[in-house]
Amino acid sequence: MTKSTPIAWAALACLSLPAPAQEAPAAETEALPEVTVRATRRESPVGPVKGYVAKRSTAATKTDTLLTETPQAITVITNDAFEEQGALTAADIVRYTAGVNSTYFDSRGDSFQSRGGNPAQYLDGLLRNSGSYNTTRPDPYTLERAEVLRGPSSVLYGQGGIGGVLNMVSKRPQKTAQRELQLQVGTNDRHQLATDLTGPLNEAGTWLYRLVAVGRESGTQVDYVPDDRLVIAPSLTWAPNSDTEINLQALYQKDKSGSLIGFFPWKGTLYANPNGPIPFNTFSSEPGFDKYNTQQSALGYQASHRINPTWTVRQNMRVADSKVDYYTMYTSFTAVATENPPRPGRPVFDFGSNRTVVRDVGIQLNSARLSQLDTQGEARFSTGQIDHTLLLGLDTQHIKTEQSTGRTTSPGFDLYAPVYGTAFTVPVVAEVQPNTLRQTGLYVQDQLKLGQHWAATLGLRHDQAQNVTDELGNKAAVKIKSHANTKRAGLLYITDNGWTPYLSYSESFQPLTGTDIAGAPFKPQRGSQWEAGVKFQPLESRMLYTLAVYDLYDENRKTADPADPRFSVQMGKVHVKGLELEARGPLNRQWDWIGGYAYTDAVVAESNTKIAIFDLNGKNPTNLVIEEKGTHLSGTPKHMASSWLTYGIPFGPGRFKVGAGARYIGTSTDGTDRNKVPAVTLVDAMLSYDTGDWRMALNVNNLADKRYLTTCLARGDCFLGQRRTAVATASYRF
């Protein structure tokens, strides 16, 4: 025992003694007014949120920060929001987010576009996937929230382009016992059973658990293509005191699907075909051969310990192994010189038929292993009148991808009257050079606050990356080392009436895996952005309104190789500027609203390549070569808007809610400005009833069952959109 201990105990004893009584005349005794004290639980930046609006997040700063004090455009989609909207995929979760285009319909992954780029997908702050076609798709039922961070964000995340970051947050163990059993049935013979169990394991509540599981058997709108899934996601939290918490997470997921897209030619999709439009259920592959089967196992943790009132240390880790078996047949990209006229290396009908196509037959056996570690130290202190939240971090990533592939062709397949079971040559599979990416990043960030009004965020990061393509056969190993410094800075002013204007600058750095047609690895992609905006949350209201305008550049972006569109080349520089408006929250006790609008102008500012395209004005399509500079990016609508509105009232012993939404996706081009994809407005609807332990809901997406195209590309193909789906859900909580 130290010398100061007896003194401390004596002082504590004195403070605990009753004060000496002092007598007072009865006439001077006066009753004090009753005071009611209500304890308000602080919202967790990673936990559940009631309603459509979250106040806090860690996505933009890796610290617990108010959204209104974040000098960057960020949207948090809560579980309540995407559950009411009937989200079946990660793409569905973000479809009512301003500026995010997620209408792409593909079993191989959830694709998004924001600000002319593809947001990097993260799970619990760590990269979820890298490369193409080597992992599973996230299941919305396993998620607590999704956070869309727009624009370059490499200071904290390292890997990422101008599209920003989509960070998905897993469901974590909760202190209050909650149990749910859910059944879904729907179109395309969908049958899904899911459960979510959580609560304490001991009386003290220091051990918590959660188990989320999903089992599904389903078809799709394309003949012979399933959408089956098995997910088991257990987690365990140990929190011995208020200063320490360790959350262990595991995941096993196995999906079974196939070829939803056939890379159908322009004729029959974008342009008229004498035989009519290609049916949306057309399956271009072969039953019994075709598959897109994925499997992933992951193990990780999030650990946090507060050393003292100033310092807190955190560490996040995850190791994930995944593999994909991909067998497919689709409209050929292979040139055929023996035809008259020669068939170009583009998706086209056999000349003169307008019915039959040559099919590429492909096999890919892919695997990936992602090992990641992110260690952070956070200090909260003051220097004079300035309060600081200082973050120091070191993260490492080790990503190894392997692939075996084979390809051949099969002629004479009729897309309008498919005949399956005819003989075709199964390609011989050969191993491709494995690729390993190692990246280490050191970052520092300081969030400064002066008084109640001024706040700033400053960040700096240094990355070192090594991209190695291993030696294989007569192909030599290729090693590329790169390094980069990225910066961010933001300034905002917090008014007393809920308005917060801000200005920010940020950069991105993204090492790219893979090689070009000559086997040369790709250079890292670089981006930079200026953004200005304002956030407004009215006093005594949970509604959150945001406005952002931005101007950004992106260098070394990959695009299809004009010589062979199965490979990629790197273009020069892309320039994107735009505006985003968003509103989210309760209008009153009955009405909830989500609204958004985005204007995006994305063009090629500098180009290293020209584009090989088709001239459709002649009898047969022929190749043209045009300048790429000045053209708009493919699949990037200039205008997008959405609105989702729900109305809820008490009804009998429960609560009845009706909701509807509309999504407008404006006109886009194929990347040459010659072929335009028409705009479309999609309507969604919802009915639900909550009573006691039960919730029953019906969600219908694309209510009018519109036929639409999500995008068309200069190489000659278009992608079909999702037709109407209806899903009924019954949830029992016990």
What pLDDT is stored for residue 27 in this prediction?
Answer: 46
What pLDDT is stored for residue 34 in this prediction?
Answer: 55
Query: Does residue 441 lie within any of the structural domains?
Result: yes
More confident of the two residues 709 and 352: 709
Least confident window among 71-85, 105-119, 492-506, 514-528: 514-528
C-alpha 627/C-alpha 607 separation (Å) is 8
Q: Is the pLDDT of residue 728 over 50?
A: yes
CATH for 505: 2.40.170.20
Would you call 631 helix, strand, or coil by DSSP?
coil
How many domains does one find in the chain? 1
**Structural element, H or E, at residue 143:** strand 143-149
Query: Does residue 211 lie within any of the structural domains?
Result: yes
Those residues whose C-beta lies under 8 Å from the C-beta of residue 465, and which sit 6 or more positions away, are 437, 438, 439, 440, 481, 482, 483, 484, 511, 524
What digits encode the pLDDT tens for the residues 203-220?
999 999 999 999 999 999
For the question of whether the overall pTM of this predicted structure is more than 0.95, the answer is: no
What pLDDT is stored for residue 131 in this prediction?
Answer: 80
Q: Name the band, by pLDDT with cuts 50, 70 and 90, for residue 624.
A: low
Q: Name the band, by pLDDT with cuts 50, 70 and 90, for residue 132.
A: confident
Those residues whose C-beta lies under 8 Å from the C-beta of residue 294, and which sit 6 or more positions away, are 135, 136, 137, 253, 254, 255, 257, 322, 323, 324
What pLDDT is stored for residue 565 in this prediction?
Answer: 64
Q: What is the dihedral of CA 205, 231, 48, 73, to 10 degrees?
A: 140
What digits encode the pLDDT tens for the residues 426-443?
999 999 989 898 999 999
What digits encode the pLDDT tens for the residues 242-293?
999 999 999 999 999 999 999 999 999 999 999 999 999 999 999 999 999 9
Tokens of 472: 């294989």
Least confident window among 30-39, 587-596, 637-646: 30-39
C-alpha 86/C-alpha 330 separation (Å) is 31
DSSP for 393-412, written as a single string:
EEEEEEEEEEEEEEEEEEEE
Query: Does residue 322 lie within any of the structural domains?
Result: yes
Query: Does residue 36 lie within any of the structural domains?
Result: no
C-alpha 687/C-alpha 647 separation (Å) is 10
Query: Does residue 673 lie within any of the structural domains?
Result: yes
Query: Does residue 42 lie within any of the structural domains?
Result: no
Q: Is the pLDDT of residue 40 over 70?
A: no
Query: Does residue 45 lie within any of the structural domains?
Result: no
Least confident window among 30-34, 80-84, 339-343: 30-34
User: What value, to the nearest 5°, has the Cα angle with vertex 193 and ends 214 and 653?
Assistant: 120
C-alpha 467/C-alpha 129 separation (Å) is 16
More confident of the two residues 249 and 24: 249
Those residues whose C-beta lies under 8 Å from the C-beta of residue 195, and which sit 6 or more positions away, are 179, 180, 181, 182, 211, 212, 213
Query: Does residue 21 lie within any of the structural domains?
Result: no
DSSP for 547-604, written as a single string:
EEEEEEEEES-EEEETTEEEEEEE-SEEEEEEEEEEEEEESSSSEEEEEEEEEEEEEE
Burial (CB < 10 A; 0-12, 13-18, 19+), residue 195, is middle
Q: Is the pLDDT of residue 412 over 80?
A: yes
Is residue 229 within 8 A of residue 253, CB to CB? The reply is yes
Q: Is the pLDDT of residue 650 over 70?
A: yes
Domain with 665 in it: 56-733
